[in-house]
Structure 1
Amino acid sequence: MSLHHVILGGSGVVGRETAAALRAADQNVTVVRRSPDPESGPGAPVVSADLRDLDDAIRAVRGAEVVYLVLGLPYRLAVWRRDWPRVVENVIAAAKVEGAHLVYFDNVYAYGKVDGPMTEDSPIRPSSRKGEIRAALLQQLEVGHERGLELTVARSADFYGPGASTSAFNSMALDPVARGKEPTWLIDATLPHSMTYTPDIGAALAILGTDDRARGKVWHIPTAPALTGEEYLTLATGGGLRHRTISLGTMRLGAPFVAVAREALELSYQNSRPYVFDSSRFESTFSMAATPYEVGIVRALEESRRVASATG
Structure 2
Amino acid sequence: MSNTVLVLGSSGNFGRRAAAAFAAAGWEVRRYARGTDMTSAASGADVIVNALNPPNYHAWDSLIPEITASALAAARASGATLLVPGNVYVYGREPGPWGPSTPQRPVARKGAIRVRMEATYREAAAKGQQVILLRGGDFLDPDSPATILRMVMLKGLARGRITAMGQPDVQRAYAWLPDMARAAAALASRRADLPAWSDIPFAGLTFSTQDLRDGLSRLMGQDLRIGQFPWWGLRLAAPFWELGRELLEMRYLYATPHSLDPAPMARLLPDFQGVDFDTMLKAHLPARPAPVATPVRAR
TM range (shorter): 0.7 to 0.9
Residue of structure 2 in register with 1:43 after alignment: none
SS at match of 2:154: helix
CA shift at 1:213, angstroms? 3.2
Residue of structure 2 in register with 1:2 after alignment: 2
SS at match of 2:82: strand
SS at match of 1:183: strand
CA contact (8 A) 1:96 1:149 kept: yes
| 2:227 counterpart (244, 248, 255) | 244
Map Cα deviations across residues 158-207 of structure 1 (whole Å, 9 max, x no partner).
11122233211121133432x54623120211111121111111111101
Q: Aligned runs of 1:89-168 on 2, under 5 Å?
A: 89-168=69-148
Residue of structure 2 in register with 1:60 after alignment: 41
Residue of structure 1 in register with 2:12 after alignment: 12
Q: Aligned runs of 1:179-218 on 2, under 5 Å?
A: 179-180=158-159, 182-211=161-190, 212-216=192-196, 217-218=198-199
Distance 1:201 1:26 in 2: 17
Residue of structure 2 in register with 1:283 after alignment: 266
CA contact (8 A) 1:112 1:127 kept: yes
CA shift at 1:110, angstroms? 1.3
Tell me if 1:297 matches 2:277: no
Distance 1:165 1:71, change over 3 A: farther
Q: Aligned runs of 1:62-81 on 2, under 5 Å?
A: 62-76=43-57, 79-81=59-61
CA contact (8 A) 1:7 1:19 kept: yes
SS at match of 1:75: helix
Map Cα deviations across residues 24-55 of structure 1 (whole Å, 9 max, x no partner).
111111122xxxxxxxxxxxxxxx233xxxx7
Residue of structure 2 in register with 1:27 after alignment: 27
Distance 1:258 1:91 in 2: 30
CA contact (8 A) 1:49 1:60 kept: no
Give TM-score scaled by structure 1 length: 0.83
Map Cα deviations across residues 279-299 of structure 1 (whole Å, 9 max, x no partner).
232124302133112111212
CA contact (8 A) 2:153 2:162 kept: yes
Residue of structure 2 in register with 1:220 after alignment: 201
RMSD: 2.4
AA in 1 matched with 2:117: L
Distance 1:255 1:293, change over 3 A: farther
Residue of structure 2 in register with 1:37 after alignment: none
CA contact (8 A) 2:52 2:67 kept: no
Map Cα deviations across residues 141-168 of structure 1 (whole Å, 9 max, x no partner).
1222223311111100111122233211
Distance 1:257 1:245, change over 3 A: farther
CA shift at 1:248, angstroms? 5.2
Q: Please identify, of 262-271 and 68-77, the stretch whose mean Cα deviation from structure 2 is larger.
A: 68-77
SS at match of 1:103: strand
Distance 1:142 1:184, change over 3 A: same
- The structure having more radius of gyration, on CA atoms, is 2
- Percent identity over the alignment? 25
CA contact (8 A) 2:136 2:173 kept: no
AA in 2 matched with 1:244: G
Tell me if 1:233 matches 2:218: no
Distance 1:214 1:70 in 2: 20
Residue of structure 2 in register with 1:265 after alignment: 248
- Equivalent pairs counted in the alignment come to 284
Distance 2:239 2:162 in 1: 23
CA shift at 1:277, angstroms? 1.9
Give TM-score scaled by structure 2 length: 0.86
AA in 2 matched with 1:108: V
CA contact (8 A) 2:202 2:260 kept: no
Unaligned runs of 5+ in 2: 291-299
